[in-house]
Structure formats: C-alpha cells, structure tokens
Amino acid sequence: MITVSILGVGARGGFTYGKYMNMCKDKYKIVSLCDKNQDKLDKYSAMFGIGKDQCFLKEEEFFSEKRSDLLVIATLDEDHVRHALKALELGYNILLEKPLTADENECRKLVDAEKKSKGRIFVCHVLRYTAMIKKMKELLDSGIIGKLVLIDHTEQIEYWHMAHSYVRGNWRKEEETSPILLAKCCHDLDLIQYFADSKCNSVSSIGSLVWFKSENAPTNASERCLSCTYQDDCCYSAKRLYIDRWKDSGCPQDWPYNVITDKICSEETLREALENGPYGRCVYHCDNDVYDHQVVNMEFENGVHAVLKMVAFTWDWGRQIKLYGSLGDIILDQGKDIIEVKVFGKPSQTLRISELTSHSDVLGHGGGDQGLVDALYDALTGQSGECYETSLDNSVESHYIAFAADRSAKKGGTLERIKRD
C-alpha cells in the first residue's frame, strides 16, 4: 500500500490523479491534502475521507513533516520546483505535474537536488502510457519501417480549448506560467524525443500571437461576453462555450466546467462565474500574450530530424504524428481514430485507436492518466520499471528543447544549441 499526499487539489491533483488513486484502494491510500482554497479542501477531503487534521491551507504547516510515501504536486507551474525541492528534502517520492518550470536554471537545480535525495521524481508526461503511443513505439521498434529519418508532429489545439486555457485561462501569460510550448506542447516534445530515442542537439523556431488581440475585436464588442451583443453569434462566446454547451452535453460536472466554478455546476453557478471571473472575458480583451501558433525544427544526436507544428485555429482535435522511415511510414491521426502503417511495396494496414483501449481504461488523456498511475505503483513497489520512462532525467529533455525553441522564436528563428549544463 502506497500512502499519498496531494499538494494542489484542483482539476489534475484532485479530480484526476486523486480520484483514480482513491479508486485503487488496494494500491493507494490518500492520507493528507494541501490547497490554499478551502472549498477545494472541503470537496476532496469529503470525497477521499480525509480528516480535518490532515487538510492544510498553509504549505508551511503541510511541509513541517513527511506525511506519506508519495507526494502528488499539482500546483501552479511557477510553484512546482519550490514545492518539489521541499519534498525532496523530506525524502518524498514525487509525482510532479508538467511542465516542471518555466525557468531553465530551475530545471538544472531540480535535477541536482534529486541526485542528492532519497526521493525520486516522476513527471506527468501521461501520453507515453496511452495505448496509441505504445503501439506506435512498438511498431517503430520492430523495424518495420526501417531506420527512422523524420518525425512530423502536429498539435491541434481546438479553437475553444485555446480560448479556454491559453487566452482566458491560467496559462495565458508567459510571465505568470510558461511559454505555450511548455504549457501545452511539452507532451508533444516528450513524444518526439521518445520516438527519436536520442538527445536533441539543436533547435530553430518561429511563432507569434496573431489573433487574440484587441484590434481584432468585432466593432463595439463588450469586454465581457454575457453583456455583449455578439454573445449568441461569436464562436468564442463564453455563453455558447460554457452555458449552452454544458446544457447540450447533459449538464456534466467535469472539465472544463469544473474549472469555471468551484461550486456544483448549474446554469446559475456558471453564469455567476462568467459574470465575475476570467472565463467570461472577451477573447479579444484579455491580458494574454502566449503564441497562438508555432513551428519548431529539431536535430537529434542520432541524425533524426523532427518538426513540431502547434496551431490553435482548427475545428479538429488531437495529434497527428508521422514517422518517416527508410522502408515505410507510420501515421497516427487521433481525430480520425487511426494508425496507418505503410511499408514500401506492401499493402497498407490500418488500426483503430479506439480498439486498442477498452472503454474502462479511458479516464483521461486516452487512458494515459490511468496508465501513469498504474505504472507508478509498479515502479514504487519494484514490479516494473516502465514509469522510469518519465523519470526526471528523461522528462527534463523536452523542457530543454522548449527553452531553446523559445529563445529561437524570440530572436526570429535563430539556430539554438540545447543547454543542459
């Protein structure tokens, strides 16, 4: 039995990892919680059966002693390293939400601290644990397409998801969180590194924020959607995205609606949140500054080249990944639910992603959230080393790529070397 504490009981710490760990009562026991929001503490302490004496509003009190075997850190991006360093000092094993940090030097500091600690850090790069990515890697490693030459990876952020998380939401400002490559695409950079099976040498990148600006607002658009004449017509209308869509979806209580309000979702509570909170703002009158599109070119030590394209202007969802080899190619299209294998001179094969994973496996990120939690238990109990694929040493590489890409984009696309030391 692994005892668990959770620092940050929001959508990821509480609703995702905490909820699933609480379901696995033969493997995990949640024993303490810490969050600066009393409503969230009350909600999840009741859900997990945690006594008030093990629920903390102040992190200083929470960190006064080691309270469990494992600490889940799902706080804001800028707090990750500070919290992880305190946890390592106490000897915790850590499940750390991505991104690690928006500061390159803090990454190095965290790597050094882990080496000196009894604790180990596992990073929430959950896509490695999905059935679709495991199948892609299995096919690649089989040698069926020969030597890997090029990776072409597209991250499609649906238009409403961009507005929700990166224009109105917590990850809208680079200074307060991180560049969008870290906030959204560290999963994608991690997968590229996973498939390349090598460290990256150099990067170049271009990108910008072109659309979500005040000069693109419709004439006489209000600063808040619920008082705007365009609220029933604008594709980014908070009324349409949150109230109308919530009704049409059967009035669910999960993401993204549980991010809008800490209360039980109803038309009244959602409307109240949109009238007063950040998610009711006009997308053209927010304080966002992260890019809405970006392209990254990468060269790896083993000669593999890769390109990542991140775009926010699409109806489509999911990732498109193309692995080009000397004898064929493998194509994943998450939105179309297919993995296609094309070996030169042979008929192509098509696999359905949905048939790779049973319905019960899909709790989040295509089964990746559950897969990570299961693999973590096996790693902590010595049954399997799979979770070490997203160890700190492996996961930090995607961050080094993102930092180099950010430097390049801000310089207009210069070639940047990866800095690890």
The per-residue DSSP string of 30-90 comes to: EEEEE-S-HHHHHHHHHHHT--GGGEES-HHHHTTS--SSEEEE-S-GGGHHHHHHHHHHT
> Cβ–Cβ contacts within 10 Å for residue 251, how many?
12
Q: Among all chains, which residue has been given the structure tokens 């040498």?
A: 201
Maximum Cα–Cα distance across the chain: 67
List the strands of the sheet with 70-73, edge to edge: 55-56, 28-34, 2-7, 70-73, 93-96, 121-123
Summarised one tens digit per residue, pLDDT across range 351-360 is 999 998 754 5
Write down the pLDDT at residue 4: 98
- The CATH code for residues 127-212+288-417 is 3.30.360.10
Check residue 391 and report its DSSP letter.
B
* Residue (of 43, 8, 7, 11) closest to 257 by Cα position: 11
* Residue (of 54, 74, 57) closest to 12 by Cα position: 74
Boundaries of every domain in the chain: 2-123, 127-212+288-417, 214-280
Summarised one tens digit per residue, pLDDT across range 89-111 is 999 999 999 999 999 999 999 99
First vs last C-alpha separation in the chain: 38
Q: Are the C-beta atoms of residues 69 and 4 closer than 8 Å to each other?
A: yes
The one-letter code for the residue type at 273 is A
In three-state secondary structure terms, 96 is strand
Write down the pLDDT at residue 360: 55
Write down the pLDDT at residue 376: 95
**pTM of the entire structure?**
0.90
Write down the pLDDT at residue 359: 47
State both tokens at 80.
């990750």
Q: Which residues of the chain fall below pLDDT 70?
A: 358-364
Q: Are the C-beta atoms of residues 281 and 223 closer than 8 Å to each other?
A: yes
Q: How far apart are CA 51 and CA 408, in angstroms?
A: 50
According to the CATH classification, is domain 2-123 in 3.40.50.720?
yes
Write down the pLDDT at residue 357: 74
> Cβ–Cβ contacts within 10 Å for residue 50, how many?
19
Write down the pLDDT at residue 421: 83
